[in-house]
Chain A
Amino acid sequence: MDVRLKVKRQDGTQPDSSHYDEYTVEMPEGATMLDALLQVRDYEDGGLALRYSCRSSICGSCAMRVNGRARLACKTKASDMANGDEPILVEPLGNMPVIKDLVTDMEVHWDKVRRITPWLENSGPEPEREHIVMHETMVDVSNALSCIQCGACVSDCTVLEVDKHFIGPAAFAKAYRFVGDPRDDTTMDRLKALSSAKGGIWDCTRCNICVEVCPKDIRPMDRIMQLREQVVNAGVEGGIGARHGTAFAGSVRRTGRLDEVRLLPESVGMFNAPRLLKELPGAFRMMRAGKLPWKDTLPLFSKPIAGIAHVRRLFDNARSEKKEAKR
């Protein structure tokens, strides 16, 4: 079959050098995107730069954007990417600088990995032999660590697009691997750090893109949610995110409504005057625009909605189910 590629070319040292080159290569059925790109590099254009190594979705080198979405080139069949008369669009990963063509500077990501204390901490007395741990726990840890750090999720993360401090889906998945490991004795410290860090777990917007693009089914966003849950369950103090969640749920349980006026002070802290003052002008503007239902907040006016008993029952059921599941 003929595979037509349109590849973004760029010399990272010259930012305005970017352009697209088109190639057509003859490939056997079932050829992967990596096979096609290597055919180009070997026989059509020796200057094409890309990373690759194992060809079996384990080394994590060949992540790139194909048709606008991050994928592993060695796991993606060229025939699946063909789009009618259009060539297959091949571009470098997003959210990181380009070195050359499809090669990006992954240091952006490795720096984030270094932020989560990426090693097992255990100060206790060493066991005589191996640690005795539940098989299921090790399977859970192993599933999280089967992340190959390819950077696909980092590339397409919508939070990283606007906030470069966000620790990011892959690094959080790695963090989960340590939090979930019974052999690590710094769980509380880790949860505190993940919760209060600049760009910490509460900054994820749950857009789900990391789950969709992950070639190894790590489900990074689910790991972030699991971390949030652990932060709340462990009663970690001081995080705006955790308080926001608690205030949100509290408001709905109390009145059946989202009480946005109370939500803010309860999230940032009732006595956090500088932050509250900072938000005031915005609050007034919202009020003027009729977007802040302040009346509902005043104790006199604040009445629960009609079916509040039902709402509360839902909350109680959900909570007892969770306790059941824990057992």
Chain B
Amino acid sequence: MTVFQHDVLVIGAGLAGMRAAIEAARNGADVALVTKLHPMRSHSGAAQGGINAALGEEDSWESHAFDTVKGSDYLADQDAVEIFAREAPGDIIELERMGTSFSRTEDGKIAQRPFGGAGFPRTCFIADITGQAILHVVYEQVLKLGITVYQEYFCTSLIVEDGEVRGVIAMPMITGDLAVMQGKAVIMATGGLGRVYAPTTNAIACTGDGMAISYMAGAPLQDMEFMQFHPTSLKDSGVLMTEGARGEGGYLLNSEGDRFMGKYAPNKFELASRDVVSRAEQTEINEGRGIDGCVLLDVRHLGEEKISERLWQIRELAIDLTNTDMVHEPVKVRPGAHYAMGGIKTDVDGAAPLPGLFAAGECANVSVHGSNRLGGNSLLDTIVFGRRAGVAAAAYVKQVASKSQISEAALAEDQNRIQQWMATKGSGGERPAVIRGEMGRMMREDLGIFRAREKLDSALAKIVELKGRFENVRLEDTGKVFNLDLLSIFELGGMLDVAHAMVAGALAREESRGAHTRLDFPERNDEKWLKHTVASRKEDGSPQLDYADVTMTKWEPEVRTY
């Protein structure tokens, strides 16, 4: 049995994970990053458009906070949003000092572009490679501090003994031999779960692993029914076209050539919040004013120079994937499953209700995004709450007595699971890709932009059916080295659990709020539903739903228009 020991284990090495690790290390903790990829391969790198902070003299953190609360359709916890917006400028300045090459204004200061749902241009950016540029810099700091990185280690379970987190079980892809990784605290930072949908803007690695193993170990997931559909993703692949395209002045057109957003958001047009724009696009498409099930994103009027400097990545993607050069013609886009507002329930320091467990970034729910996240707020979330989780975890481990022994039961359980799967080779069971494909299509169909009881009922039945079929899933690769077949089965098991919580939450929430639109309950209902959905996993794998109050400080719910 291989045993590694550290004070703090950070699972996932995207922006939230690395930022957390840096801060835990600065606070004196022995910290290690555990990631199923290499840090530089993390999906944070795919974030294109930018990161928000009220840097401008005429801007204010209160304005950023208000936009965020309004964007969340009043479901965000306002104490968390205040911290978020207030600490943002400091974090941006720190990223700049670490070496982030933010695009500049003419006088050499950090430039900011307008983004959806924001009352002020407060999105800092590096062309349309913002995530990648920041990911590089944060990884450089990890190297500088000499933080231990276990790369290509997949976490199969969270170890909890006597009600406290004690570490994780992980499978190094290179050997396939499970290892016990002991830690007094674990910070989950595994990112999103987009892969429960097909297609999605998310990377193939975004399978909600951290949410799944935390949920399995007893940590509740909050507000899982809220899934953001990004207004501009490519049709078949789902690949993202940045909101920056609209921030820089791009138009959305329907088949009649109309800038239809004027009808839905007369003040903000294309720069209304994402839920509003995606709903508008889907309405246009449903009412027959789409083209091939898409609308058009048109940036031609920005001119080649601006496109080449500020939107070069998406220009290249559109050429590579759809043979469309955006300098000369509009590109077909449609709403695509993009971001999970929901996640592991935490307080403002990233602490989950399970002692020793922390979470940050997309896999966490603090909650600052409520029922709809604003563009440019997710990168900020990873940095602000990654940092705060690092501080809190380092403080927490100081008051945990000593490294306690881990019973081998946890390890044995995962070894048994693997052995059972290994024995399915050649059986009549189904391949994971078949079950995953059906789940993805069902989620898009039934848990998409527009939802209704009938479809949600059938979604629930389908999830239960798929979970049943997963019991007989068939593994083909029985080797030890880099066994992706085994990895995909672990991932799929987790995704089915998490999707179950999403469907159950959506079925129960009988109102329309943010990204959750019920055709059968079209209005927001603050009296009954201004509350968080808290899902806990029951013994049989189904979710137990409870509800928690939303923290209000300054902003009373108002009618939301853009």
* A300 interface residue per 8 A CB criterion: no
B253 at the interface (CB under 8 A from A): no
Residues of A within 8 Å of B105, CB to CB, are 135
Q: Which of A28, A55, A59, A178 contacts B239 (CB 8 A)?
A: A55
> Is A130 in contact with chain B by the CB < 8 A criterion?
yes
Given A43-B431, A46-B477, A57:B317 Cβ within 8 A = yes
Which residue of the partner chain B has the closest CB to A59?
Answer: B41
Complex Cα distance A139/B81, Å? 32
A238 interfacial contact with B, CB 8 Å: no
CA distance A321 to B164 in the complex (A): 70
> Once the chains are docked, how many angstroms separate the CA of A87 from the CA of B118?
52
Q: Which residue of A lies closest to B105 (CB)?
A: A135
Render A15-28 as a binary contact track against B, CB cut-off 8 A, 1 for contact: 00000000000001
Shortest CB distance A141–B (Å): 4
**A8 CB–B CB distance under 8 Å:** no
Q: How many residues of A contact B (CB 8 A)?
A: 61
| B residues in contact with A45, CB < 8 Å | 476
Q: Is the CB of B99 within 8 A of A120?
A: yes
Contact B204 A55 (CB under 8 A): yes
Q: List the count of A-B residue pairs having beta carbons below 8 Å apart.
A: 163
B41 to A: closest C-beta gap in Å: 5
CA separation between A28 and B322, bound complex, in Å?
Answer: 13
- Known contacts A56-B317, A120-B140: A141-B431 contact under CB 8 Å: no
- How many whole Å from B244's CB to the nearest CB in chain A? 14
The answer on a CB contact under 8 Å between A47 and B481 is: no
Is chain A's interface secondary structure helix, strand, loop, or mixed overall? loop
Contact with A along B471-486 (1 / 0, CB 8 A): 0000111010111110
Evaluate contact between A100 and B204: CB separation under 8 angstroms.
Answer: no
Residues 57-76 of chain A, each 1 if its beta carbon lies under 8 Å from chain B, else 0: 11111000000000000010
Q: Known contacts A11-B481, A46-B477, A139-B309; is A54 also within 8 Å of B45 by CB?
A: yes
Partner of B316, one of A47, A57, A59: A57
- Distance (whole angstroms) from the CB of B47 to the closest CB of chain A: 9
Measured CB to CB, the nearest residue on chain B to A129 is: B93
User: Which residue in A75, A103, A127 is a CB contact (below 8 Å) of B320?
Assistant: A75
Tell me the chain A residues, 285-301 only, with Cβ under 8 Å from chain B: none
Question: B41 to A181, Cβ gap below 8 A?
Answer: no
Does A49 have its Cβ within 8 Å of any Cβ on chain B? yes
Write the B295-313 contact mask toward A (1 if CB under 8 angstroms, else 0). 0000000000000010001
User: Are A135 and B106 in contact, with the CB atoms below 8 A?
Assistant: yes
> CA separation between A51 and B99, bound complex, in Å?
29
A134 CA to B108 CA, complexed, in Å = 5
- The interface bits of chain B over 319-362 (1 if a CB of A lies within 8 angstroms of the residue's CB, else 0) are 01111000000000000000000000000000000000000000
Give the interface segment out of B126-134, B367-375, B399-407, B514-522.
B126-134
B136, CB-defined interface residue at 8 Å: yes
> Which range holds the interface residue count of chain B?
35 or more
The answer for the CA separation of A88 and B493 in the assembled complex, in Å, is 34
Q: Is B509 an interface residue (CB 8 A)?
A: no
B493-523 with Cβ < 8 A to chain A: none
In the complex formed, the residue of A with least CB distance to B136 is A145
**CA–CA, A142 and B313, complex, Å:** 12
Report how far A59 CA is from B317 CA in the complex, Å.
13
> A319 at the A/B interface (Cβ < 8 Å)?
no
* Closest-CB distance, A124 to chain B (whole angstroms): 11
A52 on the B face (CB < 8 A): yes
Please, how many angstroms separate the alpha-carbon atoms of A184 and B99 in the complex? 8
In the complex, per-residue mask of B97-115: 1 if CB is within 8 Å of any chain A CB, else 0: 1110111111111110000
Please tell me if B217 contacts chain A, counting CB pairs below 8 Å.
no
Q: Which B residues between 39 and 78 are near A, CB-CB below 8 angstroms?
A: 40-43, 45-46
Q: Which residues in B have their C-beta under 8 angstroms from that of A103?
A: 482
Instruction: State whether the Cβ of A164 lies closer than 8 Å to any Cβ in chain B.
Output: no
Cβ B99 vs Cβ A55 within 8 A: no
- In the assembled complex, the CB of A48 is this many whole angstroms from the nearest CB of chain B, namely 8
Q: Determine how close the nearest CB of chain A comes to the CB of B358; give it in whole angstroms.
A: 25
Contacts A142-B127, A142-B133 given: A49-B484 contact, CB under 8 Å? yes
Q: Would you call A106 and B102 a contact (CB within 8 A)?
A: no
If A114-B143, A142-B127 touch, does A58 touch B45 (CB 8 Å cutoff)? yes
A127 vs B483: C-alpha distance when bound (angstroms): 49
Complex CA gap A32/B40 in Å reads 22
Chain A 200-231, CB-CB to B under 8 Å as 1, else 0, gives 00000000000000000000000000000000
| List of A residues within 8 angstroms of B479 by Cβ | 11, 47, 100
Q: Indicate if the CB atoms of B45 and A59 lie closer than 8 Å.
A: yes
Closest partner residue, chain A, to B48 (CB atom): A58
Residues of B within 8 A of A184 (CB): 99
- Contact of A149 with B40 in the complex, beta carbons under 8 Å: yes
Which 9 pairs between the two chains have the least Cβ-Cβ distance? A46-B476, A120-B99, A42-B433, A132-B108, A135-B104, A119-B140, A47-B477, A46-B485, A53-B203
Interface residues of B, Cβ cutoff 8 Å to A = 37-38, 40-43, 45-46, 92-93, 96-99, 101-111, 126-127, 129, 132-133, 136-137, 140-141, 143-144, 174, 203-205, 236-237, 239-240, 309, 313, 316-317, 320-323, 431-433, 475-477, 479, 481-485
Can you list 9 pairs linking A and B with CB atoms under 8 Å apart? Answer: A11-B481, A56-B237, A58-B45, A119-B98, A120-B140, A135-B104, A142-B101, A142-B133, A148-B45
Sample of 11 more A-B contacts, CB < 8 Å, known A57-B320, A120-B98? A41-B485, A42-B431, A56-B46, A56-B321, A101-B482, A114-B143, A120-B140, A130-B96, A133-B108, A142-B127, A148-B45
